[in-house]
Amino acid sequence: MNPDILKERKNATFDVEKLTYILDGGPEKTKRRREIESMVLSDPDFKEENPSFLSRSERYDQAVRKSAQMILKLREYGIADPEEIYCYKNMINGNQREAFGLHFGMFLKTLYNQCDPEQARKWLPLAESCQAVGTYAQTEMGHGTHLRGLETTATYDPATQEFVLNSPTISSIKWWPGGLGKTSNHAIVLAQLYTQGNCHGLHAFITPLRDMKTHVPLPGIVVGDIGPKFGFNEVDNGYLKLENIRIPRENMLMKYAKVEPDGTYLKPPSAKLTYGTMVFIRSMIVGESARALSKACTIAIRYSSVRHQSEIRPGEPEPQILDYQTQQYKLFPLLAMAYAFHFVGQYMKETYLRISGDINEGDFSQLPELHALSAGLKAFTTWETNAGIEVCRMSCGGHGYSCSSALPDIYVQFTPTCTYEGENTVMMLQTARYLVKSYRQAKAGQQLSGIVSYLNDAQHRVVQPQPVAARPTVVDINDLASLVEVYKLRAAILVELAAKSIQQELQRRKSQEDAWNNSAIDLVRASDAHCHYVVVKLFTDKLRDIGDTGVHSVLSSLALLYALQGITRNSGDFLQAGLLSVPQVLQSSVRIKELLSQLRLNAVALVDAFDHNDKKLNSVLGRYDGNVYENLFEWARSSPLNATEVHESFHKYLKPLRAKL
């Protein structure tokens, strides 16, 4: 064990294990998670080649092998609880992606949510036994987030009681779905439904792609892999061109919308029901943001505690780079953010499960709020995390650029979350649409409930740039409840400004659409402020549940750091609205420095509490024992390029070159 990292752990002022229990949801869950992780660690079937040293085809092959093994092992061990399955897979995959990810995450999920009883009896056994391996084919070459623009068609033919699926244009070719290229033999295809001469918008169709015995593509199916990408190189993201593919009427998912044998269309009770799977995935991405950022922080903070560089005082030994205030300023706010996002992820999961229960009972009243919240928080947390991982990488200096650090892998695996399941700017605008609608309802005297209830006060406030002499709200910057209030007011004011911007555009005789587009920057800012408020509020609320004094104290420091960092980064908003004074913003910066100094003692303990096993982290720089340099040398020596002392290129090119010069 590296002596520096040992010293860091001895300095901790709280019980790391107790904080791990809070993150996991209780000691029993921690115990069970570790049992599952041990099962993977001791299983020789999951020994693997380092993906950094494999070709694309080898990476894909290894991923499929691991996925197949996982399914058998889960069955063998009787692991059926979704959280335990997630934990088991997470441990096996580390920083890589699962080959069957969309089969379990989207294909099966959609079947559970949108099959009618008869369809469920047919398709669920096939999908659960992997006879039907599926993906979710929504995105097209020409359209992604703008679902209404998708061009794939499904035209009902009453004579044969079949749908005819087509990709009518080059831009309508399905593009990007994971597992589509080589793995899946079925897809849930999202297509525009045409029946009796009318288009009824997007619906989901179970579409066979490959022969279930030979795996050869079926006639009329043009399918393949889209080629190398920035990351995800073990996943066969694919393309799909449909050429007059006929499927039975019963292959349209009909729990909500239906097409009768004669072609009569029966519409669903809520237009948003078909987006249930996407809302689920967006809710889960919030938790993924926390996990990715917690991994990056673990690597950067552990490495910063064993790396010595330069000097603070001349003539003294080189300090740990974690002693530099600038390093703390880079990393500790990100550590606070990782904790904040973890608690928001827990909240989103609970909210999704609660509202899903309501939907199953026929109550759709909370679906619009869940849709808006999951869209906004998905965008907010992925943008912040994406930038944060890169800060962690750069804070590790040159070694952070090496794949041995795992930071390049974490980054390239995470960064597509900013564009998949809804491009982030569009997600923010969807949330803004809900906020503006809620604001107008409150303005009309309607009482709002839920997370937007703060807009109820809108009609009592006049928003205008504050004169210098105006007295800001009395705010104690050391009091989290007071800061939550300030974030709430900022959100309310920015929502109001965005709504007024639209109003002003309309008064200039602009159309609704142009007024919206000309106010889009304000609308995104309003959504961002709303999400920021939600995160600060949920982090603060979580503190009430924590009884242990040591843990409560260190989490309170993190929550305060997160809130104050947000104020200094967005000080213009708070000053412009008269919510804070210039001295208060300056005071916030001073308080941040004090918090950095306080958290320095507990930094390593706080990342230890995430309890990322070395195998899962797969980082030479982030090792629990801190023995970075010895293992970095070993890692480099294992590169296939070092398999021979003289590479064949010497004989093929260099030697002949010398002879010619």
Catalytic (active-site) positions:
421
Written as six digits, the tokens of 20 are: 């791990």
CA-angle at 572, arms to 567 and 576, nearest 5°? 115
Inter-residue contact 327 to 543 (CB < 8 Å) = no
Helix (H) or strand (E) holding 90: helix 82-93
DSSP one-letter code for 429: H
Collect all residues with Cβ–Cβ distance below 8 Å to 369 and sequence separation of at least 6: 434, 450, 451, 452
Looking at this protein, which amino acid is placed at residue 248? P
Rounded CA separation 193/202 (Å): 6
**Owner of token pair 């099959």:** 115
**Owner of token pair 């908003």:** 573
Rounded CA separation 538/349 (Å): 13
Query: How do 258-259 and 265-266 pair as beta strands?
Result: antiparallel
SS3 percent helix, strand, coil of the chain, rounded to 5, is 60, 10, 30
Inter-residue contact 428 to 523 (CB < 8 Å) = yes
**Owner of token pair 């694309």:** 56
What phi, psi does 193 have (nearest 5°)?
Answer: -90, 125
What phi, psi does 438 have (nearest 5°)?
Answer: -65, -40
Rounded CA separation 488/253 (Å): 41
